[in-house]
Amino acid sequence: MAYIDMELNAQNMTSPQPMVQTLRAMDQLSAGQVLKVTTTEPRSIPNFEAMCAQLGHKIMQIIDWDGEYTFLLQKV
């Protein structure tokens, strides 16, 4: 498991708020740091994959646990 530099609880937020809050949090990190995001938004997986592909960030892990999604994202 990677060292987590920042955590964001985006549970019960509807789209696009998990993405908006994640982008704000990523802006606060330095390259190489890791953000843990937890959300219940069902569209989060494709949204986070698209965001990381576009911005170059790395998805280190995705956990789908019965409607709760946890992402470990590394800023590049």
pTM: predicted TM-score of the whole model, two decimal places: 0.94
**pLDDT number for residue 5:** 98
Burial class (CB in 10 A: 0-12, 13-18, 19+), 30: exposed
Task: Give the Cα separation of 27 and 12 in Å (integer).
Answer: 22
Domains of the chain: 13-74 (3.30.110.40)
Whole-number percent of the chain with pLDDT over 70? 97
Residue 76, pLDDT score:
95
**For residue range 42-71, what is the model confidence (pLDDT) as tens digits?**
999 999 999 999 999 999 999 999 999 999
Instruction: Name the one residue in this structure whose structure tokens are 């949204």.
Output: 47
pLDDT band at 1 (very low <50, low <70, confident <90, very high): low
pLDDT at 51: 96
Residue 39 in this model has a pLDDT that exceeds 80: yes
